Chains A and B, each alone.
Chain A
Amino acid sequence: MKRTLIATAVASVLLGIAGCETAPESDALLEQARTSVAQAQADPNVSKYAPTELDRARKLLINAESSAKQKGAKDKTAAHYAYLTTQMARIAEQRAQEQVATARIKSGEIERKEILLTARESDADRALAQARTAQSQAEQARSDAQSSRAQTLQAQTLQAQAESERLAKELENMQASLTARGIVLTLDDVLFDTGKAQLKAGAQRSLDQIAAFLSENPERRVQVEGFTDAQGTNDYNLELSQSRADAVAMAIIQRGIDAQRVRALGYGEEFPVASNAVAGSRQLNRRVEIIVSNSDQAIPGRAGSGAP
């Protein structure tokens, strides 16, 4: 009988423990509920994304508090509401986290598009830059080529000019004068012995220069004209002038100039350049003129008699 009583007591104690569905420390549960709601309220994301759940948690907390006030903190109803409050506060936080994540995914999508766009733009920029570089390189190359060609041309022109100037200067030294018929060079009689058609050595240099000029200007022709003063007979003078012109022409031909380009004419005492009355000026009339054509055309003849 006694044993049965003890067994019943133990069983009822066990049953009593089992019967308490929540932990009996409703004080702790209530405290936890308060903390949970405070925590949820402190999170700006919760009031932003889960205001309904937060409001429910607050109301549940009020229920828990009033139950605890009315029936004592150990009351099952108070503990129950405290538990619901805590869970609702946690739900509010989870909802808020979910919404934050959703927002982040949306902004991430935009970010992704921007990155791709930027990448594409930078690809395009790079292609454009490459194209521009290539173009500028091409232009540079072209302008280089042009400038080098121009430089070459300029150099050639300068060289030609210098050569012409040099030749002109040389010819000038030989008393060259530019006329409509061409460049006229005058070799005076000091290059010939009196009454002779033999060229003296002093003429060699002048003739070398003329020959060089003619070989550098192959289109030009040359005409050698001989003159005398009025002393002596006309026939003699004509013959002498012709002989001297021939001698000069031959000297030019001997220097490698085609005979086709060289013509020799004797004018005798015609076309005097000075008076034959005075010995000093008579000397000026004794001369050989070498006319170098301006072009490949034949040199026009002298006006007046004696012209061929």
Chain B
Amino acid sequence: MITLNGIRNAVWCAIAFGIVACASTPMPVEKLAVAKTSIERAEQAQAAQFAQIELTSARNKYAAAQAAADKHDAEVAARMADQADIDAQLAESTARAKQQQQLVNEMDAGLRDLRKETLRDKPGAGAQAPQPATTAPPQP
């Protein structure tokens, strides 16, 4: 039952489909690559520890973007890739900010101890120095 005409029609159809698919919605390969790089940067910045929610969101959206790309849904893939990218950027900057703040807290504690020590050594201040913990300095 398969006629030569039928095969020819099918080929034409396939060609036409392919052209339409390629021309109207090109897959956002570049956006996906950008999102992937951003996620890697976030991982390097220890986002898994310091910005878990943002990193997970980025990973999920990247997966969704890939899935959309696999389904040839370029529009959704592009949006998902963009969102994955910006989530990864947020994960990275949040992780960096938190780590830096941790350093600040450690430093402040160190300075407090240092001040206490040097104050205690001072003659005359020795009477007040041993219990300055009652008035804890404000934390920033």
Partner-B contacts on A (CB < 8 A):
19, 21-22, 76, 80, 83-84, 87-88, 90-91, 94-95, 97-98, 101-102, 104-105, 108, 111-112, 115-116, 118-119, 122-123, 126
A21 and B90 within 8 A (CB): no
User: Is the interface on chain B under 10, 10 to 19, 20 to 34, or 35 or more residues?
Assistant: 20 to 34
The distance from the CB of A250 to the nearest CB of chain B, in whole angstroms, is: 78
Known contacts A80-B82, A94-B93; is-contact A118 B118 (Cβ 8 Å): yes
Q: Which residues of A contact B114 (CB under 8 A)?
A: 112, 115-116
Known contacts A88-B86, A112-B110; is-contact A105 B104 (Cβ 8 Å): yes
A60 and chain B: residue at smallest CB distance: B86
Partner-A contacts on B (CB < 8 A):
64, 76, 79-80, 82-83, 86-87, 89-90, 93-94, 96-97, 100-101, 103-104, 107-108, 110-111, 114-115, 117-118, 121-123, 140
B94 and A94 within 8 A (CB): yes
B111 and A108 within 8 A (CB): yes
Q: Which residues of A contact B101 (CB under 8 A)?
A: 97, 101
How many angstroms between the C-alpha atoms of A80 and B93 in the bound complex?
21
B83 and A94 within 8 A (CB): no
Q: Which residues of A contact B118 (CB under 8 A)?
A: 115-116, 118-119, 122
Q: Which residues of A contact B94 (CB under 8 A)?
A: 90, 94
A111 and B96 within 8 A (CB): no
- Closest 3 A/B residue pairs (Cβ): A101-B100, A94-B93, A119-B118
Besides the known contacts A98-B100, A108-B107, A111-B111, 15 further A-B residue pairs in the complex with CB atoms under 8 A apart:
A21-B64, A21-B79, A83-B83, A84-B86, A87-B83, A88-B86, A90-B90, A91-B93, A94-B90, A94-B94, A105-B100, A105-B104, A119-B117, A122-B121, A126-B122
A112 and B111 within 8 A (CB): yes
The distance from the CB of A55 to the nearest CB of chain B, in whole angstroms, is: 15
How many angstroms between the C-alpha atoms of A122 and B120 in the bound complex?
12
Q: Which residues of A contact B140 (CB under 8 A)?
A: 104
A98 and B96 within 8 A (CB): yes
7 residue pairs of the A-B complex, CB under 8 angstroms, read A21-B80, A21-B83, A80-B83, A94-B90, A108-B104, A115-B114, A115-B115
How many angstroms between the C-alpha atoms of A19 and B75 in the bound complex?
12
The distance from the CB of A61 to the nearest CB of chain B, in whole angstroms, is: 13
Other-chain residue from A95, A101, A102 in contact with B93 (beta carbon distance below 8 A): A95
Other-chain residue from B76, B90, B122 in contact with A122 (beta carbon distance below 8 A): B122
B79 and chain A: residue at smallest CB distance: A80
Q: Which residues of B contact A80 (CB under 8 A)?
A: 79, 82-83
A104 and B104 within 8 A (CB): yes
How many angstroms between the C-alpha atoms of A36 and B37 in the bound complex?
26
Q: Which residues of B contact A118 (CB under 8 A)?
A: 118
A98 and B93 within 8 A (CB): yes
